[in-house]
């Protein structure tokens, strides 16, 4: 049995402090800071980079319109953290679908600030992987899964 909890996994593989380091003070991407992704085989570094670059491009445009927000963005690049984490979670969910297709799982609660009401209805209920909507399918979903398999840790 595998307990997959997105927030715990993110804290381990893609924590805020590591994502913050992606943003250089001149609002560009520090590519070497992407090395945290290298430690995790099943994460596509190029996709994470594309996501980060898109957010940074948006930041640059916003700063052009309103230079005063630059300091705030550098101090707390919320959007960058959220988008990069969402991308990582999305890739993990895809990996789970590939690896554990057809296995049963129990839908676990999200610890998002505002969990989706439709997902709350699924908490504690058993489903089949690859069958219908799953945790992580929807961008930003932070619901977890108890995968009813013989494995004891996530090996994607
Ligand atoms: Zn959810």
C-alpha 88 to ligand 1 mean position (Å): 15
Provide the pLDDT for residue 27.
97
Residue 113 has pLDDT above 80, yes or no: no
C-alpha 24 to ligand 1 mean position (Å): 32
pLDDT tens readout for residues 90-102: 999 999 999 999 9
Look up the pTM and report it.
Answer: 0.90
C-alpha 65 to ligand 1 mean position (Å): 35
C-alpha 133 to ligand 1 mean position (Å): 10
Residue 143 has pLDDT above 80, yes or no: yes
C-alpha 132 to ligand 1 mean position (Å): 13
In whole angstroms, how far apart are CA 91 and each of 41, 60, 103? 11, 27, 19
pLDDT tens readout for residues 7-45: 999 999 999 999 999 999 999 999 999 998 987 888 999
Provide the pLDDT for residue 42.
82
> Residue 134 in contact with residue 93, Cβ under 8 Å?
yes
């Amino acid at each position: 049995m595998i307990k997959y909890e997105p927030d715990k996994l993110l804290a381990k593989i893609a924590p805020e402090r590591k994502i913050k380091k992606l943003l250089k003070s001149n609002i560009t991407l520090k590519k070497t800071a992407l090395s945290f992704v290298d430690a995790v085989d099943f994460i596509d570094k190029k996709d994470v980079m594309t996501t980060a670059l898109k957010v940074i491009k948006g930041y640059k445009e916003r700063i052009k319109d309103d230079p005063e927000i630059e300091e705030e963005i550098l101090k707390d690049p919320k959007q960058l953290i959220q988008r990069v984490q969402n991308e990582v979670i999305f890739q993990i969910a895809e990996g789970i679908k590939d690896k554990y297709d057809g296995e049963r799982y129990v839908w676990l609660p999200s610890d998002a600030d505002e969990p989706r009401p439709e997902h709350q209805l699924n908490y504690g209920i058993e489903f089949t992987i690859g069958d219908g909507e799953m945790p992580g399918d929807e961008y930003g979903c932070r619901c977890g899964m108890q995968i009813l398999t013989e494995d004891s840790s996530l090996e994607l």
